[in-house]
Amino acid sequence: MRAVVQRVKSASVTVGDETVGEIGRGLVILLGVSKTDTEEEARWLAKKCAALRVFEDDEGMMNLSLADIGGKALVVSQFTLYGDCEKGRRPSFTGAARPEAAERLYGNFVDAMRGEGIEVETGTFQAKMLLDIRNDGPVTLILER
Protein backbone atom coordinates (compact mmCIF):
# COMPACT_ATOMS: atom_id res chain seq x y z
CA MET A 1 0.00 0.00 0.00
CA ARG A 2 1.35 3.41 -0.96
CA ALA A 3 0.33 6.85 0.16
CA VAL A 4 1.43 10.18 -1.19
CA VAL A 5 0.76 12.53 1.72
CA GLN A 6 0.63 16.29 1.23
CA ARG A 7 0.28 18.90 3.95
CA VAL A 8 -2.30 21.37 2.68
CA LYS A 9 -3.90 24.70 3.50
CA SER A 10 -7.02 23.46 1.68
CA ALA A 11 -8.10 20.87 -0.86
CA SER A 12 -11.16 19.67 -2.69
CA VAL A 13 -12.13 16.89 -5.06
CA THR A 14 -14.75 17.30 -7.77
CA VAL A 15 -16.55 14.68 -9.85
CA GLY A 16 -18.26 16.23 -12.84
CA ASP A 17 -19.72 19.47 -11.54
CA GLU A 18 -20.10 18.28 -7.94
CA THR A 19 -17.60 18.82 -5.11
CA VAL A 20 -17.62 15.47 -3.29
CA GLY A 21 -14.94 16.21 -0.68
CA GLU A 22 -13.40 19.36 0.73
CA ILE A 23 -11.08 20.19 3.64
CA GLY A 24 -9.25 23.15 5.10
CA ARG A 25 -5.91 22.67 6.85
CA GLY A 26 -4.90 19.04 6.91
CA LEU A 27 -3.58 16.24 4.75
CA VAL A 28 -4.39 15.05 1.26
CA ILE A 29 -3.68 11.34 1.05
CA LEU A 30 -3.48 9.78 -2.41
CA LEU A 31 -3.82 6.06 -1.69
CA GLY A 32 -2.69 3.22 -3.94
CA VAL A 33 -3.52 -0.39 -3.17
CA SER A 34 -1.43 -3.28 -4.50
CA LYS A 35 -2.72 -6.75 -5.24
CA THR A 36 -0.87 -8.14 -2.19
CA ASP A 37 -2.15 -5.63 0.39
CA THR A 38 -4.18 -6.64 3.45
CA GLU A 39 -6.45 -5.04 6.04
CA GLU A 40 -3.53 -5.06 8.49
CA GLU A 41 -1.50 -2.88 6.12
CA ALA A 42 -4.44 -0.50 5.67
CA ARG A 43 -4.76 -0.10 9.46
CA TRP A 44 -0.99 0.36 9.91
CA LEU A 45 -0.77 3.01 7.19
CA ALA A 46 -3.83 4.87 8.49
CA LYS A 47 -2.37 4.96 12.00
CA LYS A 48 0.93 6.22 10.58
CA CYS A 49 -0.77 8.98 8.54
CA ALA A 50 -2.92 10.07 11.48
CA ALA A 51 0.11 10.39 13.77
CA LEU A 52 2.54 11.88 11.23
CA ARG A 53 4.13 14.97 12.77
CA VAL A 54 4.31 17.33 9.78
CA PHE A 55 2.63 20.44 11.16
CA GLU A 56 4.66 23.21 12.74
CA ASP A 57 4.55 24.06 16.42
CA ASP A 58 5.02 27.56 17.85
CA GLU A 59 8.77 27.31 17.26
CA GLY A 60 8.40 26.39 13.60
CA MET A 61 9.35 22.73 14.11
CA MET A 62 7.34 19.92 12.52
CA ASN A 63 6.16 18.44 15.81
CA LEU A 64 2.37 18.34 15.47
CA SER A 65 0.11 15.70 13.99
CA LEU A 66 -3.22 15.98 12.24
CA ALA A 67 -4.99 15.25 15.53
CA ASP A 68 -2.90 17.86 17.36
CA ILE A 69 -4.05 20.64 15.01
CA GLY A 70 -7.65 19.42 14.62
CA GLY A 71 -7.06 19.00 10.90
CA LYS A 72 -8.93 16.84 8.42
CA ALA A 73 -7.84 14.35 5.78
CA LEU A 74 -8.96 14.12 2.17
CA VAL A 75 -8.34 10.55 1.03
CA VAL A 76 -8.43 9.82 -2.70
CA SER A 77 -7.97 6.40 -4.27
CA GLN A 78 -5.22 6.42 -6.89
CA PHE A 79 -4.33 3.13 -8.58
CA THR A 80 -1.77 4.94 -10.76
CA LEU A 81 0.59 4.94 -7.76
CA TYR A 82 1.28 1.35 -8.82
CA GLY A 83 2.11 2.30 -12.40
CA ASP A 84 5.34 0.59 -13.46
CA CYS A 85 7.23 2.66 -16.02
CA GLU A 86 10.40 0.57 -16.11
CA LYS A 87 9.78 -0.82 -19.60
CA GLY A 88 8.51 1.12 -22.56
CA ARG A 89 6.69 4.43 -22.40
CA ARG A 90 3.31 3.33 -21.20
CA PRO A 91 2.81 2.44 -17.53
CA SER A 92 1.79 -1.07 -16.59
CA PHE A 93 -0.70 -1.37 -13.73
CA THR A 94 -0.39 -5.11 -13.11
CA GLY A 95 0.82 -4.45 -9.55
CA ALA A 96 -2.36 -2.59 -8.60
CA ALA A 97 -5.18 -4.42 -6.83
CA ARG A 98 -8.32 -5.38 -8.75
CA PRO A 99 -11.09 -2.79 -8.22
CA GLU A 100 -13.16 -4.92 -5.81
CA ALA A 101 -10.21 -5.58 -3.48
CA ALA A 102 -8.89 -2.03 -3.81
CA GLU A 103 -12.26 -0.50 -2.91
CA ARG A 104 -12.56 -2.72 0.17
CA LEU A 105 -9.04 -1.86 1.40
CA TYR A 106 -9.53 1.83 0.58
CA GLY A 107 -12.64 1.67 2.78
CA ASN A 108 -10.65 -0.09 5.52
CA PHE A 109 -8.04 2.69 5.39
CA VAL A 110 -10.70 5.43 5.63
CA ASP A 111 -12.43 3.63 8.51
CA ALA A 112 -9.11 3.20 10.33
CA MET A 113 -8.34 6.93 9.94
CA ARG A 114 -11.74 7.74 11.41
CA GLY A 115 -11.00 5.25 14.19
CA GLU A 116 -7.93 7.35 15.01
CA GLY A 117 -10.26 10.32 15.56
CA ILE A 118 -9.55 12.00 12.22
CA GLU A 119 -12.38 13.60 10.24
CA VAL A 120 -12.11 12.24 6.69
CA GLU A 121 -13.49 13.40 3.37
CA THR A 122 -13.12 11.18 0.31
CA GLY A 123 -13.19 11.16 -3.43
CA THR A 124 -15.42 8.80 -5.41
CA PHE A 125 -13.88 5.39 -6.04
CA GLN A 126 -13.17 4.71 -9.77
CA ALA A 127 -14.47 8.11 -10.85
CA LYS A 128 -12.57 10.63 -12.93
CA MET A 129 -11.80 13.32 -10.38
CA LEU A 130 -10.38 16.82 -10.37
CA LEU A 131 -8.27 17.65 -7.32
CA ASP A 132 -7.59 21.18 -6.21
CA ILE A 133 -4.71 21.12 -3.74
CA ARG A 134 -3.01 24.04 -1.97
CA ASN A 135 0.13 22.23 -0.81
CA ASP A 136 1.57 23.94 2.28
CA GLY A 137 5.34 24.15 2.42
CA PRO A 138 5.38 22.32 0.09
CA VAL A 139 5.43 19.21 2.24
CA THR A 140 4.95 15.92 0.39
CA LEU A 141 5.89 12.48 1.70
CA ILE A 142 5.63 8.98 0.29
CA LEU A 143 4.71 6.22 2.76
CA GLU A 144 4.66 2.55 1.93
CA ARG A 145 3.83 -0.60 3.82
Task: Tell me, yes or no, if 79 is annotated catalytic.
Answer: yes
Q: Where exactly are the structural domains of the chain?
A: 2-144
Which listed residue (80, 124, 125, 140) is catalytic?
80
Q: Is the Cβ–Cβ distance between 9 and 25 less than 8 Å?
A: yes
Per-residue pLDDT tens over the stretch 37-54: 999 999 999 999 999 999
Task: Tell me, yes or no, if 109 is annotated catalytic.
Answer: no
Task: Tell me, yes or no, if 36 is annotated catalytic.
Answer: no
Per-residue pLDDT tens over the stretch 87-143: 999 999 999 999 999 999 999 999 999 999 999 999 999 999 999 999 999 999 999
Which listed residue (6, 14, 78, 122) is catalytic?
78
For residue 23, the model assigns a pLDDT of 98
The CATH code of domain 2-144 reads 3.50.80.10
